[in-house]
Chains A and B, each alone.
Chain A
């Protein structure tokens, strides 16, 4: 149950697009299409943004898009807005009904 690998930080200007990667192994990210992404603002509970790799819950902006290739999942945010500044976490099923999160990525909107 080793944490998935995410960059510690990414940044972008308003209107730009950024991508956050999430690298696991063939036992988690690579073995299941069960990666989810969460947004967390300071002092707040996490919010589900993408699930099953590419799907968005109702109410989540279509500026948020998920993808996956082999052992790496990615979250792309198009048209950055100031309110997108937050921490982002990926999470994957890791077999035997256990889950593993990534270490988190701090997004700064310049």
Chain B
């Protein structure tokens, strides 16, 4: 069974940092592109970042570029999101998601974690 479990969320002050993890199981992690998607309370989904299967390429939404870094450890089946200089508007549930193998260019997400809540507030 495919499983993705996020952790690392919590309360952080504006300007602070937080590191999220996503532990996966049930599939060969190193074969898949992975994404982070966030959802502010009561709001819609927003794409955050994507990393390719070997970690050599990453892309970001403009809203987080230069502040967030996506990475992965294929030996430990874990995806990461390092978030720096956090702002109130970064408050959201952060989901990790797997790119569907049958979808061209990793452009759709077939497995999602349950999310971890990040709250940025003083």
Contact = CB atoms under 8 A, between A and B. Distances in A.
Contact of B107 (A36, A47, A57, A101): A36
A101 B63 CA distance: 14
Given A1-B62, A45-B113, A97-B59, A51 B44 contact: no
Interface in B45-68: 45-47, 50, 57, 59-63
Most chain B C-beta atoms within 10 Å of own C-beta, residue among A55, A93, A97, A98: A97
Most chain B C-beta atoms within 10 Å of own C-beta, residue among A52, A89, A103: A52
A92 to B, nearest CB: 8
Nearest to B62: A1
Contacts of A45: 95, 112-115
A40 B97 CA distance: 14
A38 B102 CA distance: 16
Contact of A101 (B46, B57, B113): B46
A46 interface: yes
Contact of A93 (B44, B102, B107): B107
Interface size class of A (residues with CB under 8 A): 20 to 34
Nearest to B115: A45
A102 B107 CA distance: 15
Interface of B: 35, 37, 44-47, 50, 57, 59-63, 95, 97, 100, 102-105, 107-110, 112-115
Interface of A: 1, 3, 32, 34, 36, 38, 40, 45-48, 51-52, 55, 57, 87, 89, 91, 93, 96-104
